[in-house]
Amino acid sequence: MTHEKQHPILLDYVRQYPLPHGVRFTYGTAGFRSEGSILASTVFRAGILAALRSLKTGSTVGLMLTASHNPISDNGVKIADPDGGMMIQQWEPFADALVNAPDPEHLLQVSALFHCTLLVIQFVKEENIPFGGGQSANILLGRDTRPSGDALLEAAKQGINSVVGAFAIDMGILTTPQLHWMVRNINKGTRSSESDYMEQLAKSFRCLVDLAPDNTMESKLVVDGANGVGGEKLQQLKKILSGLDICVRNTGKEGEGLLNEGCGADYVQKEKAIPSSFGLDDVGMKCASLDGDGDRLVYFIPSASSNNVDLVDGDKILTLFALFIKEQLDFLCNEQGFDNKEAVSLGVVQTAYANGASTAYLKKLGLEVVLAPTGVKYLHKEAATFDVGIYFEANGHGTILFSEKFLSHLQARSDELSSTASGSESHKSGLRLLEVSRLINQAVGDALSGLLLVEAVLQYKGWSIKAWNELYQDLPSRQLKAKVADRNAVVTANAETKVVKPPGLQELIDEETAKYPCGRCFVRPSGTEDVVRVYAEASTQEAADSLAQSAVQLVDRFLGFAGSHQKA
């Protein structure tokens, strides 16, 4: 089929999904997000985008409907590339242009419609996409538990159907990481169903526990499911798990509360407060919290004082994983494993939100620490440059990447040692690393696989959550946000640690920061909300609070409109 024949088909479909008036959508750090009630046209066009991406790559891609940790009234859409990661950044400008192409309800109908479809045709030519040429495209669809999900799913299907040869495959209600995992596996030609996912996690966790010393550990874990899909899937997973006693609360059942309201990883991490459904009976317990779509994880210990928690955030998770991976690699390199010519590169990737104490601790271990802008797409790219790359944001979103070359070498070495040195620490270390690569979701951050790896490593180390939390002491910090009309008025550089625009703002932030011992402060535009986010660190909580408030005031002064300042 030629472009000319595809063109009128697109026209017919586009008419069904006019853009809402006066709204502009931006592809942020995790796709498009907004109020679910105004997203139909965006999701429809994202369906076109996913179909084109599948045609371009000749592989299956994914489309996920979720707004993660946002309120239940919000929703969003993101595209998963064939490797299971986020859509390549080079396509983001086209994504923005596509979803914001003028609406026929507000402009001349024919010219507006042609504007939209000609945009697609032009992009197809530039990218040399086999559009309307007989090639098929497959798009896996997933959604979380938001009420707006069903209607938006239909819009996504219509967008996909508007591209000849494109097929939508509805995978049902999933966590975001599950969909990414499925896309990655199906393109690798390996087992890719939801039951395969569950079985792999349970099997690899069991193997890691079996390879651990016979340590005594806290087997009881209480998990806050954020009243979202993650809690629902964890309930399913625990049925086939052994060696771990999990109690799930905030599962999303009727009467338990609303999605992400007073619960979830974002709430616990930002507020440092106990989530709903937890109370005095949980004081001192090992607890964890997922976010709304199951891609973030933080741990916490409910405090006996007021409503506070001792937070064990993404920085501490990264540190735990880095300690474990480094120890296994040391066994490999120092015993019968890799010689100096085969030295393995191990690196950790953080954002500016990482607590300064965590960065200092990691560097003290001799690890290479790389700073990346906020957003998984940036951290993932940096982590992929290492044989083993570990990345985590402080909010609990992260994973571990293993290069194919390293895994192949590791498998060969483990096979060799199984016949010559089976049972040696070097052989066990190789087996542990292989199982970690199977347990952790290498496509994207995954709260469920991350939780099981945390538990396996704590079992290996024989640590309580208290011992883990005491690896280092966080510097006091505060996150705030200022509501603004245009978040893009703030432009940053150096992994978002320095403001480039508006001119002069950074100099005043630096002057203010210099007043505080151990002071550190940066501001950045949010990737998901129309706010400017502020982060401050200092030697005391009072100082961190004061520095953050001062930075918010500076943002207001430079941007010219004061907003509501609240915890981020």
Give the span between the Cα atoms of 300 and 269, in whole angstroms: 9
Helix (H/G/I), strand (E/B), else coil: 268: helix
Give the span between the Cα atoms of 212 and 202, in whole angstroms: 16
Neighbours of 419 (CB within 10 A): 8
104 is in an annotated binding site: no
Both structure tokens of 226 = 């954020």
Give the span between the Cα atoms of 171 and 23, in whole angstroms: 30
Give the span between the Cα atoms of 396 and 267, in whole angstroms: 12
394 is in an annotated binding site: yes
Query: For residue 266, how many C-alpha atoms fall within 13 Å in the half-sphere facing its CB?
Result: 19
Both structure tokens of 355 = 């607590």
Between helix 356-364 and helix 314-334 the angle, nearest 10°, is 10
- 10 Å CB burial of residue 18 (0-12, 13-18, 19+) is middle
70 is in an annotated binding site: no
Give the span between the Cα atoms of 87 and 396, in whole angstroms: 21
525 is in an annotated binding site: yes
Q: How far is CA 385 from the centre of its chain?
A: 19
Neighbours of 90 (CB within 10 A): 8
Query: For residue 411, how many C-alpha atoms fall within 13 Å in the half-sphere facing its CB?
Result: 11
111 is in an annotated binding site: no
What residues does 312 pair with on adjacent strands?
299
Give the span between the Cα atoms of 513 and 321, in whole angstroms: 32
293 is in an annotated binding site: yes
557 is in an annotated binding site: no
* Residues whose CB falls within 8 Å of the CB of residue 121, separated by 6 or more in sequence, listed in order: 3, 7, 131
527 is in an annotated binding site: yes
Helix (H/G/I), strand (E/B), else coil: 397: coil
Neighbours of 360 (CB within 10 A): 12
Of 68, 148, 358, 449, which is the active-site residue? 68
- 10 Å CB burial of residue 356 (0-12, 13-18, 19+) is middle
Give the span between the Cα atoms of 483 and 9, in whole angstroms: 41
Report whether 268 contacts 275 (CB < 8 A). yes
Query: For residue 329, how many C-alpha atoms fall within 13 Å in the half-sphere facing its CB?
Result: 22
Helix (H/G/I), strand (E/B), else coil: 415: helix
206 is in an annotated binding site: no
Report whether 402 contacts 144 (CB < 8 A). no
What secondary structure, in 3-state letters, does 135-200 show? CCEEEEEEECCCCCHHHHHHHHHHHHHCCCCEEEEEEEECCHHHHHHHHHHHHHCCCCCHHHHHHH
Q: Is 34 designated active site?
A: no
Identify which of 483, 480, 478 has the alpha carbon closest to the alpha carbon of residue 559: 483
Binding site as annotated, residues for substrate: 393-395, 524-528, 533
Residues belonging to the active site: 68
| Binding-site positions for Mg(2+) | 68, 291, 293, 295
Q: Which residues are annotated as a binding site?
A: 68, 291, 293, 295, 393-395, 524-528, 533
